[in-house]
Chain A
Amino acid sequence: MITINNISKSFDGRKVLSDISATFDKGKTNLIIGQSGSGKTVLLKCIVGLLEADEGEVYYNDILFNKLSFDKKKLIRQKMGMLFQGAALFDSMSVEKNVMFPLDMFTEMSKEEKLERANFCLQRVNIINANHLFPDEISGGMKKRVAIARAIALNPEFLFCDEPNSGLDPKTSVVIDHLIKDITEEYNITTLVNTHDMNSVMGIGDKVIFIYEGQKWWEGSRNDILDSDNKELNEFVFSSELTRKIKGL
């Protein structure tokens, strides 16, 4: 479980996040949604510690993460997996080496065991016969799946996904969404997904937090969205002609 209390962050005097508190449950797909520039990526980076929040606390299973020393943070980070917007696979390594990398760094497994684990993770995300290809030789959707395989290689407790569907076609997006949801439930992971893709919200959002102008504006499940009378949320979620008709706006 991840808990954040009163997170605030400013850049050059401009407030990007203001007093955000939330709890993200284990075994659930927790979504942070909001318009581009609303502050959701900054919030995610504050949660994982890539940015330091000006104020507030981030707890990982009751451990106050953002006040830990660099070395102690490293121990918590070994329990994290992250899928970046652009996949962030290491260019100089093959698909297989990318997935094996965290195992090389943090385990004492033999080469055969690491290979077996890497193959298991790659098969889990339906990557077959691509072990020796390099990131620039595979498609965007495959890159995302390899990045998920790398993220789950060490059996993480926490999975973070920053815009997992950006740059993907709708069909591949659905595949990635369901993969994230299945893995979350299968391994009982606390998953946080940063997205503005409404298909993801309605498809996998066990818990949804809507960020508007750097503040937490709304919180609920995907089913609650349909009944919500929050003006800003409705304008964001039901922005297309089709969704407005569905909602009856």
Chain B
Amino acid sequence: MLVKVFHLFGEYVLFLKKVFSKPEKRKIYLKQTMIEMDKLGFLSIGIVTIISFFMGAVITLQTAYNIENPFLPSYLIGVGTRDSILLEFSSTVIGLILAGKVGSNIASEIGTMRVSEQIDALEIMGINSASYLVLPKIIATMLFNPFLTMLSMVVGIIGGWSVGVFTGVVSTQQYIDGIRYAFVPFYITYALIKMVFFAFIITTISSFYGYRVQGGSLEVGKASTNAVVMSSIFILLFNLLLTQLLLS
């Protein structure tokens, strides 16, 4: 079992070495990066917005429920919502959601290219297939995903405010006071740093599982599942490590 894990890790490192070798033609890679930004980043705006709005709303209601005490000021609802969204939700939870959406997309796309010999066709042409297919995805997600994190922060806080005011658990002024109270700007930096790491994890792990597919459609499905599972595990592991490094 341990040997298998080390073998897999070795394969992953060799795969990364191939991915980060010199590109054949920078102009083509740049064009591909733009395409991937649209496909993997821009098309994720919808799901990130919807989930962030509802999660912000739920966090507000749960915080209000938990601090239902006459000795605790209502603006703490805003503080709780802000910190939950900034510290954990907009980076880690969005990272996990993107691991599902983007990770499965990448693994199945590259896996299908492998089983239909499209990757072999690239290799025969003298193109470094790993670099051509994966490097633009890595750059695109590492650049675009932090914007998704910022979007999630804004929408999550708006979601919390709108539902908090609509249900009457907090007034607009109290909520804004809470959002501004003891604000630590580094929390935003912390969330963005985490998302850059998560983007790298999602893209490289999913591409790796897709790239090493052997067989047919069944194996592509398995690779897609493995990609999501392993990306999620590594997101959680790196969340722990980065939190200890950046916030301790």
Contact = CB atoms under 8 A, between A and B. Distances in A.
- 8 closest A-B pairs by CB: A77-B126, A88-B117, A74-B126, A88-B121, A78-B126, A82-B124, A84-B117, A88-B118
B28 A104 contact: yes
Contacts, number: 57
Nearest to A45: B120
Given A76-B126, A88-B120, A91-B116, 6 more contacts: A48-B124, A50-B123, A78-B125, A82-B121, A105-B28, A106-B25
Nearest to A147: B121
Contacts of B128: 70, 74
Interface string B99-137: 000000000000011001110110111111000000000
A136 B90 CA distance: 39
Interface string A86-115: 101111000000000110111000000000
B11 interface: no
Contacts of B28: 104-105
Contact of B125 (A49, A85, A86, A102): A102
B124 A75 contact: no
7 contacts: A76-B126, A81-B124, A84-B121, A91-B113, A102-B125, A105-B24, A105-B125
A82 B125 CA distance: 8
A80 interface: yes
Q: How large is the interface on A (under 10, 10 to 19, 20 to 34, 35 or more residues)?
A: 20 to 34
Nearest to A79: B126
A76 to B, nearest CB: 8
A50 B214 CA distance: 14
A33 B19 CA distance: 36
Contacts of A88: 116-118, 120-121
Nearest to B31: A104
Given A104-B28, A105-B25, A90 B126 contact: no
A101 B117 CA distance: 16
Contacts of A85: 117
B126 A106 contact: yes
A58 to B, nearest CB: 14
Q: How large is the interface on B (under 10, 10 to 19, 20 to 34, 35 or more residues)?
A: 10 to 19
A100 B116 CA distance: 20
Contacts of B116: 86, 88, 91
B122 to A, nearest CB: 9
A70 B127 CA distance: 10
A105 B127 contact: yes
A143 B96 CA distance: 39
Given A105-B24, A105-B25, A105-B28, A86 B117 contact: yes
Contacts of B25: 104-106
Interface in B128-161: 128
A82 B127 CA distance: 13
Interface string A177-220: 00000000000000000000000000000000000000000000
B117 A75 contact: no
A91 B124 CA distance: 17
B123 A77 contact: yes
A116 B125 CA distance: 20
A78 B126 CA distance: 5
Nearest to B121: A88
A102 B123 CA distance: 11
A76 B126 CA distance: 8
A86 B116 CA distance: 7
Contacts of B120: 50, 82, 84, 88
A96 to B, nearest CB: 16
In this complex, which of B28, B118, B123, B125 has the most chain A Cβ atoms within 10 angstroms of its Cβ?
Answer: B125
A237 B128 CA distance: 39
Nearest to B118: A88
A73 B127 CA distance: 10
